[in-house]
């Protein structure tokens, strides 16, 4: 069964990022070639443990969060692009003859998939995309095959459709990050060309590392570290519930000791984790340096986190804001959007799928 991980463009779409801790939605419109306007965005919390290890465990709770996010978005659009966590997707690059017809290519993709997917083929959705000519062989093309178990896809689709949305695109979070990164790359010298850039997306429980060289992804890895550790520490220190701690973390209102005793040590741990990721990358690949670090995810909104990471790694560090060059719709509060932007990178990349 084919599934559209790579289906290029369908008319307007809401980008829906269902992460461990929140549903994030972004709606974009086109304002000229390659230029976008941020029409609206929303963030709705998902109760703790409703999503574990990227799997939907509490379908009703997740669906309620999707419903709330959609209501807050205030959009008439029902079509949505969702993403699977990269850990749920098996991808492989293969070489195929350049003169194969689409049907023959499909047959060959299935044959290839049989060899490296550890599940029966009827339990998976498969899609493929021609990347381009093979580097060393003129009559072959490089083809990227992506496969995911149907149940992983169906759970997310069910959560969105129960909330009233219609899922027309299923992407992979790393590809969505790369799409949105193209907007952030403009903020780097020479648009990121011929440079090595490490995008670190720090979620609630996982740090997703995606390194791009010359604006193409060359390395993907995950490290167990995330904003939930800060929430737990706030709960423990100030006797709050999870919900109260989350709100306090975003909106403020904690005792003065919070900055020095809780936030500072957390930011130091975060810098150490980024430095570890950097060291791991340079020691396990042919690349011996990284030119820029781009911080994304909810933790990137911590004041001066970029300064701390830069001090620790000695690498130029910026906070991702895919909306920086965009005009904004009347529903968007510009100042708040700048704060929320790093957490919306996947939702933004998904929304870009619907804007041609």
Mind listing the pLDDT tens digit for each residue in 147-190?
999 988 999 999 999 999 999 999 999 889 999 999 999 999 99
State yes or no: pLDDT of 11 exceeds 80: no
In this structure, are strands 137-149 and 124-134 parallel, antiparallel, or unpaired? antiparallel
- When divided into structural domains, the chain yields a total of 1
In a domain, 134, yes or no: yes
pLDDT in tens, 71-129: 999 999 999 999 999 888 988 888 898 888 888 888 888 888 888 888 888 898 888 88
Q: What pLDDT, on the 0 to 100 scale, is given for residue 80? A: 95
Residue linked to tokens 């465990």: 57
pTM: 0.89
Mean pLDDT within 182-200: 93
Residue 98 domain-assigned?
Answer: yes
Q: Give, in order, the Cα–Cα distances in Å from 246 to each of 72, 240, 252, 309.
A: 18, 9, 10, 23
d(CA 255, CA 184): 35
> Distance between CA 192 and CA 186 in Å, rounded?
7
Q: What band does 3 get if pLDDT is binned at 50, 70 and 90?
A: low
Query: Per the domain annotation, does 217 fall within a domain?
Result: no
Mean pLDDT of all residues in the chain?
Answer: 90
Q: Is 286 among the domain residues?
A: no
- The reported pLDDT for the residue numbered 6 is 55
Q: CB neighbours (10 Å) of residue 275?
A: 16
| Predicted pLDDT of residue 1 | 40
Low-confidence winner among 80-84, 107-111, 195-199, 258-262 (lowest mean pLDDT): 107-111
Asked if residue 325 is part of any domain, the answer here is no
* 153-169 burial: b if 16+ Cβ within 10 Å, else e: bebbbebbbebebebbb
Q: Is the pLDDT of residue 251 over 70?
A: yes
d(C-alpha 276, C-alpha 278), whole Å: 5
Q: How far apart are CA 114 and CA 122, in angstroms?
A: 11
pLDDT over 60 (residue 322): yes
CATH number (domain holding residue 96): 3.30.1490.300
Residue 6 domain flag: no
Residue 109 lies inside a defined structural domain of this protein:
yes
State yes or no: pLDDT of 2 exceeds 50.
no
**H helix intervals, the chain:** 59-73, 102-116, 150-162, 173-184, 228-238, 242-251, 257-258, 264-284, 305-313, 334-340, 345-351
pLDDT of residue 356: 61
> pLDDT at residue 26 above 70?
yes
Longest dimension (CA), the chain: 67
Q: Is residue 202 part of a domain?
A: no
Domain residues for 94? Answer: 90-150
Give the model confidence (pLDDT) of 333-344 as tens digits: 998 999 999 999
Give residue 252's pLDDT. 81
- According to the model, what pLDDT value does residue 94 have? 87
Question: To the nearest whole percent, how much of the chain has pLDDT over 70?
Answer: 97
The DSSP letter of residue 190 is: G
**How far apart are the C-alpha atoms of 49 and 184, rounded to whole Å?**
32
**CA separation, residue 120 to residues 23, 93, 148 (Å):** 31, 20, 11
Lowest mean pLDDT among 42-51, 53-62, 74-83, 248-257: 248-257
- Is residue 32 a contact partner of residue 348, using CB atoms and an 8 Å limit? no
Which residues, including other chains, have CB under 8 Å from residue 99's CB and lie 6 or more apart?
Answer: 139
């Amino acid at each position: 069964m084919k599934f559209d991980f790579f289906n290029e463009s369908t008319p307007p779409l809401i980008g829906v990022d269902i992460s461990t801790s929140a549903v994030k939605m972004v709606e974009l419109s086109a304002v000229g070639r390659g230029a976008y306007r941020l029409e609206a965005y929303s963030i709705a919390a998902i109760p703790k443990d409703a999503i574990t290890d990227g799997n939907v465990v509490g379908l009703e709770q997740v669906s309620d969060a999707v419903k709330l996010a959609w209501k807050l978005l205030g959009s008439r659009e029902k079509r949505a692009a969702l993403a699977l966590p990269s850990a749920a997707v098996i991808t492989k690059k293969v070489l195929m003859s350049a003169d194969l017809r689409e049907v023959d290519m499909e047959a060959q993709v299935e044959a290839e998939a049989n060899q490296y997917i550890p599940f029966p083929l009827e339990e998976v959705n498969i899609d493929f995309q021609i990347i381009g000519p093979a580097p060393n062989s003129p009559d072959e093309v490089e083809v990227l095959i992506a496969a995911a178990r149907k149940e992983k896809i169906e759970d997310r689709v069910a959560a969105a459709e129960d909330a009233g949305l219609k899922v027309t695109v299923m992407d992979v979070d790393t590809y969505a990050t790369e799409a949105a990164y193209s907007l952030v790359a403009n903020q780097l010298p020479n648009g990121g060309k011929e440079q090595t850039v490490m995008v670190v997306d720090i979620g609630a429980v996982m740090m997703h590392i995606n390194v791009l060289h010359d604006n193409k992804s060359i390395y993907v890895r995950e490290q167990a570290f995330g904003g939930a550790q800060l929430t737990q520490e706030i709960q423990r220190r100030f006797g709050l519930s999870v919900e109260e701690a989350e709100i306090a973390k975003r909106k403020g209102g904690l005792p003065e000791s919070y900055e020095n005793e809780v936030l500072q040590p957390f930011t130091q741990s975060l810098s150490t984790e980024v430095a570890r990721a950097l060291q791991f990358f340079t020691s396990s690949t042919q690349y011996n340096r990284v030119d820029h670090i781009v911080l994304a995810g909810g933790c990137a909104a911590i004041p001066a986190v970029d300064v701390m990471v830069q001090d620790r790694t000695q690498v130029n560090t910026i906070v991702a804001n895919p909306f920086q060059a965009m005009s904004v719709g009347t529903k968007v509060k510009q100042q708040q959007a700048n704060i929320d932007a790093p957490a919306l990178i996947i939702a933004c990349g998904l929304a870009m799928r619907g804007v041609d």
